Structures are given as structure tokens and as C-alpha cells.
Structure 1
């Protein structure tokens, strides 16, 4: 049965990966907020909060479904995100929905195509990617590669690690996702899907120990 408590013997390594994947960008005004679809409705909550604070004038929610989200969001991640944002006071005219993306590369590419379709692409010089906390660095690197003309900042619901794990309710799931997203930093750069970023030795070491501990469900072949 899932537990919402991090094992004490793993905490230091999990925190190392958690801190590395945060970009620590300041939430400053940008032209567009992009809510990246996932199983975490907190992404939509944070996107709505940022809109209501005047950080950006328009939102794109992007995401279809993955095996891990189809039960929770049967109409698609972006559709459910939009509905949640409307409940939080975001006006419908401020939201565009991109319902087909199944990965982060699609999120970025399909968002660009949607903006172009609506005649808005030339109006966007800066974007904020709103994601799960451990997805910040990977999404940033991919956006810099696929949309190099824009300034990119990242943001996530500001929760400490323990509170985030409690909100998800499954420590193993969070650790597996952290391990997988960390590995993708160097794998995606090697495949030329993302810009290269420095990965400090302590991060590599923490990653390796967590893999050895069995957190491999999100690890991909290198």
C-alpha cells in the first residue's frame, strides 16, 4: 500500500535530486503561462494562482493522457486543468487548451502550433512553464532547445518535499519520478532533444544510489 512518508535512509538522496531539479526562478511577468499536463492537479492550481496574481495574461494547458492519468483525468489532462482553473476564477477567454500532447516535447511543439493557429505566436517573447516540482529542469532544457527564441522561466506549486509527497500520497511514485526526470537531463541532451546542463557529481551519486535501491520504473535505456 502506498505511503506518503519518505524513508529516512533515502531522504538525503531524494532531497539532492529534488533540489537539483528546481530551477529557483523568480516568478516575474511573462507573456504566456504554460501548464504542463500530468497526474498532479496542483499544476493547474498554481497556474491559476499565477494568472490571478497578474504574472501572465494568457494560459495554455497542454496534455492528453498517459496510463498514469487516464483514470483520474478521463477527458484529458489539459481539459481537466482548464476546468479547475475556471473554478479558481480564471476567465475562459484567457485559456487555450492543447489536448493532444503525450510528452514534454509535444507540450512545447503543440503549444507553439496552437498559438500560431490563433495568430498569437508573434506576441510571445517570454513563457513560464508550470509543472510538477521535479519536472522543472527537464522542461526548461527541452523548451530552450525547441523554442530558443523565447525567454523561459519555470515555476511549481511552492511546497517543501515532505508536503509534496503527502499531497501525492505515494512516496515511491515521487522517488521514481524524480529518478527518471534526473536521468533525462543527460539522456535527452545526448539525443539532442534538450540543451546540455551541468550535473554535479553529488547528483549523479544520489541518482545511482536510488537506482541501486530499486527506484527504476521511470529509468530509460541509455
Structure 2
């Protein structure tokens, strides 16, 4: 049973992770692999609205996605985008990345190899990864403008869509931890974390939402 306090704290983390960028035309759409097929839906929608001429899907598999997406996250995303009407010629697949940093580095290399000139990126992730994705891209690809985007869903709608309350809160906590730790390790630019968000994060850890924390 998840307490009312934990739900309140989780909503606070959710709100912090959102960047509230307005989607706009960019050189490329990059969909970051994960357990959430909604990333492919949003990326396809942006393409069909004419916001970019090419889409990159990036991601291998993880313990979370091995059963759901056995052919790899990027491959399943591509298949979904084609179902939604994105032409095959507009989709590039990067099937090896296993973390956000690799998503950015490998997508950049793939676009260079394909001869795509990039000065702006419409970066699509899960809602609670918007800030982490933005901070990582700004660190590893500083010369491009980055617009961070995700499914336009409320916290409650997202939890219902995933169907696993505890997993979503664990992911929120894990994403916040990385915002705190990774700038010092050179993985992303620093993003200020308000005191009330940090306090909510600590309470969620004390409540046992720890499965996505990195150790060591």
C-alpha cells in the first residue's frame, strides 16, 4: 500500500522532472529507448506534424524491457512508428545504447554517418526523464539546441498507462538521484533541485522506493 504522503512526494518529483518546453521544428527527433512505447507514439506524432525530417530511435534492452521488447527498444519503437504512418526512409535505428549518455553519443554518431546536419534536437523521453535527458544532451552535445518533450499526460494518467505504481515511483526516485549525482561525474550539466523536491526524494527513499537507485 502506497501512503498518501508518498503519492504527494511522487507528484512533486514528477513536476520537477518536466521541462515544459514547447515542441517546435528541429533538425531531428530523437526518441530515447525505454519500457514506454509512448515515446515512439510521441516521436511519430511530431514527425507527422512536420516538426523534423528524420527520426532516430535509440536503445538496446534492459532488465525492464527484455520481456516487453525482446528485439530491442529502438527496433520496437521503429515498428510502432511505421504502424503510425512514419515512412521507413525517415527512421534511423541505433540499437546498442544502454543509458542516456550512450543514447546521445550514439545517435550523434549515427546522424554524422548519415550526413544529417543537426543544429537542434527534439528529444523525446518518458515524462519523468525530460530533465535528465535535457541535461545529458546539453553536456554531451552542447552546440545544438535541445527541446525536451514527452507524452502530455498527468502523473495519474501516466501511472495508469504503465500499470505498475511502484515501478513508476521507483523510476522517479532513480531519475532524481541521477540529477544529483551525475553532474559531478561529467555526465550532464547541473540542474538545481529545490529543497522541497530534495525532501520529497529523501522521504520516498525512506519509504522504500529504491530499486532504481545507483550504488557505489
Shift in Å, 1:9: 3.0
- Distance in 1 separating the partners of 2:137 and 2:5: 35
Query: Which residue number in structure 1 is paired with residue 113 of structure 2?
Result: 117
Instruction: Give the secondary-structure state (helix, strand or coil) at the position aligned to 2:47.
Output: helix
Is residue 108 from structure 1 mapped to residue 140 from structure 2 by the alignment? no
Query: Which residue number in structure 2 is paired with residue 8 of structure 1?
Result: 4
- Cα deviation digits, residues 1-22 of structure 1 (max 9, x gap): xx9xx64332211111000000
Query: Which residue number in structure 1 is paired with residue 29 of structure 2?
Result: 33
Query: Which residue number in structure 1 is paired with residue 145 of structure 2?
Result: 151
> RMSD value over aligned CA atoms?
1.2
- Distance in 1 separating the partners of 2:165 and 2:198: 21
Unaligned regions of 5+ residues in structure 2, if any?
none
Shift in Å, 1:161: 0.5
What is the TM-score of this pair, normalised by structure 2? 0.97
Is residue 70 from structure 1 mapped to residue 70 from structure 2 by the alignment? no
- Distance in 2 separating the partners of 1:10 and 1:213: 8
Is residue 184 from structure 1 mapped to residue 170 from structure 2 by the alignment? no
Is residue 18 from structure 1 mapped to residue 42 from structure 2 by the alignment? no
Runs (4+) of structure 1 moved beyond 6 Å? none
What is the TM-score of this pair, normalised by structure 1? 0.95
